[in-house]
Amino acid sequence: MGSPAGLSLGQLLLALDATMVSLVDAPRGLDAAVSSAALIDTDDVRLGLARAASSADVFLLLGLGDDDAVQWLRRETRDRAPIAVFAKSPPPALVEAAVGASTAVVAVDPRARWERLYRLIIHVFDHHGAPLHESGTDLFGLAQSIADRIHGMVSVEDAESHVLAYSASDGEADELRRLSILGRAGPPEHLAWIAERGIFDALRSSDDVVQVAARPELGLQPRLAVGIRPPNPDSRRARQFMGTIWVQQGSQALAEDAEEILRGAAVLAGRIMTRLATTPSTHTVRLHEVLGLRDSDVDISVVARDLGIAYDGRAALIGVDTSTATARLAEVLALSASAFRADAQVAPHGSRVYVLLPRAARPAAVRSWIRGTIAALRTELGLHLWAVIAAPVAGLSAVAAARAEVDRVLDSAARHPGMQESVTSLAEARTTVLLDEVLTFLSGRDHLIDPRVRHLRHTDAALAETLRCYLDSFGDVAAAARELHVHPNTVRYRVRRIEEILSTSLADPDVRLALALSVRIS
């Protein structure tokens, strides 16, 4: 997963805070830029499945034994040393090997959930000062600003109580704050106490700031909380609950106007979360660059490195029209694509979703997978989708051109719903698409349509239909007669009448071409 250029390892660690991570050693310092992260577990190492992620800057080592971790790091540093590795209780042998390779080692709190840490890292990559997006999309920055202003420790959670961002804890975080940040549930007694007093109900139903008393017996400090809602008060969704801002008090008293500041912070948080919901992540932006969907001149090899995917080799691209599908279809396709290929990349754009397979399997395997996926979506969700395959594609540098061709096929299919196969390839659709584009171009320009054909159709519909069959049969009278269910002599007679009415000879190939196009349009 990629991040904007310029984010340093030090900035990443500051955002994650000492509650989650602590630096063990950084032989190259903290200024090294980090732009991608990958998860590595024991199976990745032993089965050699980690190669696709080998270009990442930051690695999270999940459950690796000491020997496996050292073995992986030594193999990884033969070509390119990672900027940093994150591990729970990193063993001395791993630290020694990493420092020898100039790789930083970051210790992760043993109680931290890896998926929570990974999601937070990706959030920082995507939105922490990202220059690619509109300003005001940094929840970490907002949390820290609130903390600085009212002298408390702030966390921002979504509607399901997942922590999205938080301020520095300064060593004063109580157990509930620490566990929340680490992705663990708080003390059950406290959660039950909060529920009994209707605190969650109050946050969901009111804009008021809620005070939560200290629980000395549990070591919990007093708190303030306020619900987050969409920013537009006139919207029908204005009462939608988006999440909560929590403020834990430390040794310093909160500011006198803390509640007023929190109400304003909830408005800002609502705006940011709304923007984040509608703004593509940096990862999606990078994929759009590979697909040629952004007006920017980029170095595809650099983008590939940011995405942690192979630049060369045979790729495959699949475009899926989702105009009749649900809004979350991209996520559904991503689940299936990731199961098919671990390095699959999925990017929604408008009414389409593109699946990029950087180093694809055989085209037949790709076709089989997408056919099965579309069939399953039809059976399970009642969706009727169109998909177009471009494979093989000669590396990522050729993906943008392939995407343009895929779009041409999907555009053609949209003009003729029900006439296209649910899954097709560029090669299979080439003739159909070219003819459709020619006819679409001509249909909007009356002066390019032979007026004699319209005159013939208005004068004698049977002659017009005979002309179509005769041209489609390449002048084969017998074939045209079979389609029209008439005697061949009837076809010969009608052809002579057509030539008289049109004042031309159907033996002329140029005449046949011009008339064939006009017949299909008029």
List pLDDT tens digits, range 68-93. 888 888 877 777 788 999 999 999 99
**CA nearest to 425, candidates 309, 318, 516, 342:** 318
- Enumerate residues 6+ apart whose C-beta is below 8 A from 261: 146, 149, 150, 255
| Comparison of pLDDT for 179 and 487, the residue scoring more | 487
| Confidence at residue 107, expressed as pLDDT on a 0 to 100 scale | 94
All structural domains of the chain:
9-127 (3.40.1390.20), 139-278 (3.30.450.40), 282-427 (3.30.70.270), 445-521 (1.10.10.2840)
**CA nearest to 317, candidates 393, 385, 372, 412:** 393
CA distance 289 to 348: 13
| Confidence at residue 454, expressed as pLDDT on a 0 to 100 scale | 80
- Enumerate residues 6+ apart whose C-beta is below 8 A from 232: 238
CA distance 290 to 284: 10
Place of tokens 């039950």: 192
Check whether 357 has a pLDDT greater than 50. yes
pTM for this predicted structure: 0.52
CA distance 129 to 283: 15
List pLDDT tens digits, range 259-301. 999 999 998 888 888 877 766 777 788 888 899 988 777 888 8
| Confidence at residue 2, expressed as pLDDT on a 0 to 100 scale | 43
Check whether 346 has a pLDDT greater than 50. yes
Please give the share of the chain, as a percent, with pLDDT higher than 90: 14
* Mean pLDDT across the chain: 81
Q: Is 485 exposed, middle or buried (0-12, 13-18, 19+ CB in 10 A)?
A: exposed
Question: What is the three-state SS of 30-67?
Answer: CCCECCEEEEEEHHHHHCCCCHHHCCCCEEEEECCCHH
- Enumerate residues 6+ apart whose C-beta is below 8 A from 230: 237, 238, 240, 242, 270, 274
| Confidence at residue 325, expressed as pLDDT on a 0 to 100 scale | 61
| Confidence at residue 63, expressed as pLDDT on a 0 to 100 scale | 78
Q: What is the mean pLDDT of residues 392-405?
A: 88
Contacts by 427-436 with C-beta closer than 8 Å and gap 24+? 429/388, 433/408, 433/409, 436/412
| Confidence at residue 1, expressed as pLDDT on a 0 to 100 scale | 42
Q: What is the mean pLDDT of residues 347-358?
A: 87
Check whether 209 has a pLDDT greater than 90. yes
**CA nearest to 72, candidates 100, 46, 91, 106:** 46
CA distance 54 to 186: 36
Check whether 215 has a pLDDT greater than 90. no
State whether the Cα torsion 342-348-352-358 is positive or negative.
Answer: negative
Amino acid letter for position 63: G
| Confidence at residue 46, expressed as pLDDT on a 0 to 100 scale | 63
| Confidence at residue 52, expressed as pLDDT on a 0 to 100 scale | 44
| Confidence at residue 135, expressed as pLDDT on a 0 to 100 scale | 41
Segment of 37-51, 176-190, 347-361 carrying the highest mean pLDDT: 347-361
